[in-house]
Structure 1
Amino acid sequence: MSSDEIKLGAGAADVTVQPGNGCRVGSLRVDGVELLRQGERYGSFPMVPWCGRTREGRFRNGDTVHQLPVNAPPHAIHGTARDAVWKTARVTDTEAVFTYDLTDPWPYPGRVTQIVELAEDALTLRLAIETYDDSFPAQAGWHPWFNRHLEGTGGESEGVQVHFDAAWQELRGDDHLPTGTRVDPAPSPWDDCFGMPGGVDVTLTWPGRLELKVASREEWVVVYDEPAEAVCVEPQTGPPNGLNTAPRLVTPLEPLETSTTWTWRRL
């Protein structure tokens, strides 16, 4: 099938997926109001086969050290899949399935599948990484850019409110990577990784308009609220630099599978 935009609809919600642009969700609209920041590099993209920054682009698999392209000096960031063209495998009115075959510069063959499923009050995203050959460490997650202000609310308003109750915050070094020390969560602004052992549970509230909950069974989430235009809530299977510190091993018998669900209600 082609890599043209795929559109899904359910009730008053509609989603656009761009398989030719890293399989990102380019648009999520509720009652005609756009929730995601628009632009070629925004929307919400899958982070595969690693999330956030990998220190100096290097990671180890057993005795072998691999070098990834340093695309956010001095580190490698956000995986390779966001820059790839994905294949569209199946589409219905409310669900679409996409695949991407891992290739250079990632050193191991494998296949990534993303499933996008829309309901009237929720969007569920699922990722799976499979290998039919060598086992390898990997991570998977999502990097959504939610609009700070919704259409119809001016920039002078306070914008979206972000609420969560994390068990800890990963202390970040000057290189933007976790130091290995866990501290009590600090107040905003954030570009930080938080631990939620019971699963990711973050609520975004646009006062008087909409409440949206980002949930996942994973225990790691990066919250980034420094930009003036957007906030990012990124559920993922490990912390930044997790290929080195907390990898999940993908084997022929055990794929890496994860999901996130965004549920909304009108206020």
Structure 2
Amino acid sequence: MSNEPITLTAGDAEATVLPGNGGRVGGLRVGGVELLRQGDRYGCFPMAPWCGRIREGRFRDGATVHQMPLNSPPHAIHGFVRDAAWRTARVTPAEAVLTCDLTDPWPYPGLVTQQIALTEDALTLTMSVETYESSFPAQLGWHPWFNRTLGDGAGVTIAFDAAWQEERGADHLPTGERVDPRPGPWDDCFGMPDGVDVTLTWPERLELTVTSPERWVVVYDEQEAAVCVEPQTGPPNGLNTAPRLVTPLEPLEATTTWRWRRL
């Protein structure tokens, strides 16, 4: 199938999916109101085969050290499937399934599959990476840009109860120490051992919860126009510090749900 834009609808919710532009959700409208930032950094893109920064773009697999392109010098950031054209495998009025091959510069063959499913009050994103050959470490996650304001309303608030915060060094990477959660603004990774659960509230407009069975979430609210809540399968630099192995018998899978209600 083609990689043309896809529009999903359910009730008064509408999502635009862009297979040809990184497999991202380009927009999410509820009652005609756009929840995701538009413009240069927009929508919600999948992160694979890693999330956040890899220190100096290098990760070790056994005795072998692999070098990734430094797309955020001095580090490599957010994987590269967000820069690829995905294939559309299946579409229904409220669901799309996309696939993307892992190719150069990634040193291992693999396939990433993403499912985007819309209901009247929720969007669920599910992703997997699988291999039929060599095993390899990987991470999965999502990077949404939520609008800080909806129309002329008040700015969004972010509420969550994390068990810990990954201490961030001057190089923006976790130091390996866990500290008590600190007040924002944040560009930080938090641990939630019972699963990610973050609530965004646009006063008098909308409440949206981001949940996931995964244990890590990056919260980024240092930009004026948008805030990011990023569930992921490990912390930044996790290919080196907390690798999750993809094997021919066991793919790596992740899911997140955004559920909203009007206020």
Rounded Cα–Cα distance in structure 2 between residues aligned with 1:90 and 1:41: 27
SS in 1 for 2:89: strand
Which residue is 2:112 aligned to? 112
Determine which of 235, 249, 253 is the counterpart of 2:231: 235
SS in 1 for 2:145: strand
- Which AA in structure 1 matches 2:181? P
Rounded Cα–Cα distance in structure 1 between residues aligned with 2:188 and 2:130: 29
How far the C-alpha of 1:42 sits from its partner, in A, is: 1.6
- Which AA in structure 2 matches 1:116? I
Rounded Cα–Cα distance in structure 1 between residues aligned with 2:75 and 2:8: 36
Deviates more, 1:31-40 or 1:217-226: 31-40
Q: Are 2:169 and 1:173 equivalent residues in the alignment?
A: yes
- Which AA in structure 1 matches 2:89? A
Rounded Cα–Cα distance in structure 1 between residues aligned with 2:89 and 2:41: 23
Determine which of 188, 192, 198 is the counterpart of 2:188: 192
SS in 2 for 1:21: coil
User: Cα 1:40–1:87, aligned 2, differ >3 Å: closer, same or farther?
Assistant: farther
**8 Å Cα contact 2:41-2:145 kept in structure 1:** no
- Which AA in structure 2 matches 1:16? T
Structure 1 residues 74-123: Cα deviation after superposition (integer angstroms, max 9, x where no partner) = 00000010000000000000000000000001110000000000000000
Rounded Cα–Cα distance in structure 1 between residues aligned with 2:45 and 2:136: 22
Which residue is 2:242 aligned to? 246
- Which AA in structure 2 matches 1:214? V
Listed as ranges, the matches of 1:202-217 within 5 Å are 202-217=198-213
How far the C-alpha of 1:41 sits from its partner, in A, is: 3.3
SS in 2 for 1:17: strand
Which residue is 1:33 aligned to? 33
Which residue is 1:151 aligned to? 151
Listed as ranges, the matches of 1:88-127 within 5 Å are 88-127=88-127
Q: Are 2:62 and 1:43 equivalent residues in the alignment?
A: no
Rounded Cα–Cα distance in structure 1 between residues aligned with 2:109 and 2:182: 40
Rounded Cα–Cα distance in structure 2 between residues aligned with 1:193 and 1:207: 25
Q: What CA RMSD, in Å, does the superposition of the two structures yield over aligned residues?
A: 0.6
Which residue is 2:4 aligned to? 4
Any gaps of 5 or more consecutive residues in structure 1?
A: none
How far the C-alpha of 1:3 sits from its partner, in A, is: 1.2
Which residue is 1:220 aligned to? 216
SS in 1 for 2:45: strand
SS in 2 for 1:59: strand
How far the C-alpha of 1:15 sits from its partner, in A, is: 0.1
Which residue is 2:70 aligned to? 70
How far the C-alpha of 1:138 sits from its partner, in A, is: 0.1
State, as a whole percentage, how many aligned pairs show the same letter.
Answer: 75
SS in 1 for 2:56: helix
Total equivalences in the alignment: 263
SS in 1 for 2:20: helix
How far the C-alpha of 1:152 sits from its partner, in A, is: 3.5
SS in 1 for 2:172: coil
Any gaps of 5 or more consecutive residues in structure 2?
A: none
Structure 1's consecutive aligned runs of 4 or more residues displaced over 3 angstroms after TM superposition are none
Rounded Cα–Cα distance in structure 2 between residues aligned with 1:208 and 1:139: 36
**8 Å Cα contact 2:186-2:221 kept in structure 1:** yes
How far the C-alpha of 1:40 sits from its partner, in A, is: 4.6
Rounded Cα–Cα distance in structure 2 between residues aligned with 1:151 and 1:126: 29
SS in 2 for 1:134: coil
Rounded Cα–Cα distance in structure 2 between residues aligned with 1:176 and 1:84: 26
- Which AA in structure 2 matches 1:28? L
Rounded Cα–Cα distance in structure 2 between residues aligned with 1:57 and 1:171: 20
